[in-house]
Amino acid sequence: MALKTAQQYIDSLRKLKSDVWLFGERIDNFVDHPIVRPSINAIALSYKVAHEPEYEDLATTTSTLTGEKINRFTSLFMSTDDLVKKVKLQRLLGQRTGCCFQRCVGMDAINAVFSTTYETDEKHKTEYHARFKEWLKYIQQNDLCVQGAMTDVKGDRALRPSQQPDPDMFVHIVERRKDGIVIRGAKAHQTGSVNSHEMLIMPTLTMREGDEDYSVCCALPSDSKGVHFIYGRQSCDKRKLEKGDIDVGNYQFGGQEALTVLDDVFVPWKRVFMCGETDFSGMVVERFASYHRQSYGGCKPGIGDVLVGATAAMTDYNNVAKAGHVRDKIAEMNHLIETLHACGLAASTQGTKTKAGNYQPDILLANVCKMNVTRYPYELCRLAEDLAGGALVTIPSECDLRSPEVGKYVQKYFKGAGSVSAEERLRMLSLINSMTFGLTAPSYRTESMHGAGSPQAQKVMIERQSNMEQKKKLARKLAGIEEREKLTD
């Protein structure tokens, strides 16, 4: 089965025996839990779109490993066109979910590990690449959702992994056996972890001598023995436990983060893709980061499309859409959205082929894309909050709207212009509230800052990738400090 339907994906999660915790209690049926289910729905849409004829070219491709038609989220990028289609698909899904749809991390991790294992084998004569391809065939043939797990909890940030007072602050190998390895530690802020079938674990930074046990990359089923998920809090998340759907805003879809604990988890050798090779830890980190920072040129514009649409709707409801300053602010929102998307597309078109044969985006442009994402969504949220009005954070609850006693007052005093009902205004305000304040977690605002690395991480890569000596040389030539370019012989 190379292409699951949305329903088949949801049904497959019911077969998992994952250890999931929320509010200090173990969740036996996480699939139908009202706080978790919206995030499952968001991933399910990525399966649904793969069966929609108009999006077949974006959402599916042909596997270079099996020759079968597969979901793009399990694919290798074999051209710059594949990178472009990835970004366009991400924008589409952002538009239709209004939130994080959680499969991008796994897709980006797959491509980073694919090329890194090839070059590791080339130098160290290991067998990681062949192992990885066999695992990826299994993922593609069963259309599985993969969680890319990179971020460690880190402990004392001033100390290397091997220097930590508690060695478990970074995921590490605690035992090497004939049949595999045993790993321990935790991965933080893991997107879609509970909703994924598999985890692809990577090192979180460039390792050095002494950090060999921390240079580990491997794959394991999400419900492996010793794996525990502690579900992350979301702003106003208990609203999902209340009756009604207005106060939730985006009731159907949502994101998900969790602390993923690895308590002496066994991994067989066939699923181990790095084991002590510190010299290649930096490569997989850098390549994954570039893929994932490119991704933000797709999902964030797509979600931004929903936010600007909701904001524009509110200006219609209040009958101020024609005001000059309102039109100017809406235009600015669209400008910011398209700038983000343009940068993601640019990073894609300037991608290059790795030794393994798949393509990676331009590293400099991918990091510029993500740097813009750490800024523009904040301005988008500010403009949305400006135009939506103060009612964004003061509206009555749905219970008040439905109340036999005071409902008539809410309906009367929250009515919009013309035929716009109070319920329409409350629904749109709640949608904007959920997107800007974080109910459809991760928050569009905060996740844009820290997802795929904080701004400083992008600045480091931009500094590395910007050829400053070449730029200085250009300036010296034009200034006449070095010999100027000859125009004629």
One of 104, 145, 275, 381 is an active-site residue; which one? 104
How confident is the model at residue 270, as a pLDDT? 98
d(CA 354, CA 113): 12
CB 211 within 8 A of CB 162: yes
Partners of residue 272 on adjacent β-strands: 218
Q: Is the pLDDT of residue 1 over 70?
A: no
**How sure is the predictor about 319, in pLDDT bands with cuts at 50, 70 and 90?**
very high
How confident is the model at residue 441, as a pLDDT? 53
d(CA 410, CA 408): 6
How confident is the model at residue 6, as a pLDDT? 98
One of 80, 97, 151, 191 is an active-site residue; which one? 191
One of 9, 47, 80, 100 is an active-site residue; which one? 100
Q: Please report, rounded to a whole number, the percentage of residues in the chain having pLDDT higher than 90.
A: 92
CB 404 within 8 A of CB 341: no
Q: Could you tell me the sign of the dihedral formed by the alpha carbons of 241, 246, 251, 257, in that order?
A: negative
Cα–Cα distances in Å, from 145 out to 19, 103, 195, 200, 341? 17, 7, 8, 11, 25
315 belongs to the catalytic site: no
**Mean pLDDT, range 212-231, rounded to an integer:** 98
CB 207 within 8 A of CB 173: no
How confident is the model at residue 440, as a pLDDT? 64
Domain ranges of the chain: 284-469
Tell me the pLDDT of the chain averaged across its residues.
96
How confident is the model at residue 365, as a pLDDT? 97
What is the rounded end-to-end Cα distance, in angstroms, of the chain?
66
One of 292, 317, 398, 444 is an active-site residue; which one? 292
One of 296, 317, 359, 376 is an active-site residue; which one? 296
Give pLDDT tens digits for 80-135.
999 999 999 999 999 999 999 999 999 999 999 999 999 999 999 999 999 999 99
352 belongs to the catalytic site: no
**How sure is the predictor about 234, in pLDDT bands with cuts at 50, 70 and 90?**
confident
Cβ-based burial of 405 (10 A; exposed 0-12, middle 13-18, buried ≥19): exposed
Continuous H helices in 438-467: 444-450, 455-465
Give pLDDT tens digits for 408-450.
999 999 999 999 999 999 999 999 999 998 766 556 877 888 8
One of 99, 217, 299, 343 is an active-site residue; which one? 299
299 belongs to the catalytic site: yes
Burial 34-70 (b: 16+ CB within 10 A, else e): ebbbbbbbbbbbbbbbbeeeebeebbbbebebeeeeb
**Mean pLDDT, range 138-146, rounded to an integer:** 98
Q: Is the pLDDT of residue 25 over 90?
A: yes
**Mean pLDDT, range 124-149, rounded to an integer:** 98
398 belongs to the catalytic site: no
How confident is the model at residue 470, as a pLDDT? 95
Q: Is the pLDDT of residue 162 over 80?
A: yes
How confident is the model at residue 285, as a pLDDT? 97
d(CA 228, CA 250): 28
How confident is the model at residue 340, as a pLDDT? 97
CATH of domain 284-469: 1.20.140.10
104 belongs to the catalytic site: yes
Residue of 5, 8, 37, 4 whose CA lies nearest to 20:
37
**Mean pLDDT, range 475-482, rounded to an integer:** 95
How confident is the model at residue 236, as a pLDDT? 87
For residue 248, what are the contacts with CB-CB under 8 A and spacing of at least 6? 239, 240, 430, 434, 439
Give pLDDT tens digits for 332-384.
999 999 999 999 999 999 999 999 999 999 999 999 999 999 999 999 999 99
Q: DSSP characters for 35-98?
A: TTHHHHHHHHHHHHHTT-GGGHHHHEEE-TTT-SEEEGGG----SHHHHHHHHHHHHHHHHHHS
One of 47, 99, 151, 257 is an active-site residue; which one? 257
296 belongs to the catalytic site: yes
How confident is the model at residue 200, as a pLDDT? 98
Q: Can you read off the two tokens belonging to residue 159?
A: 């100390």
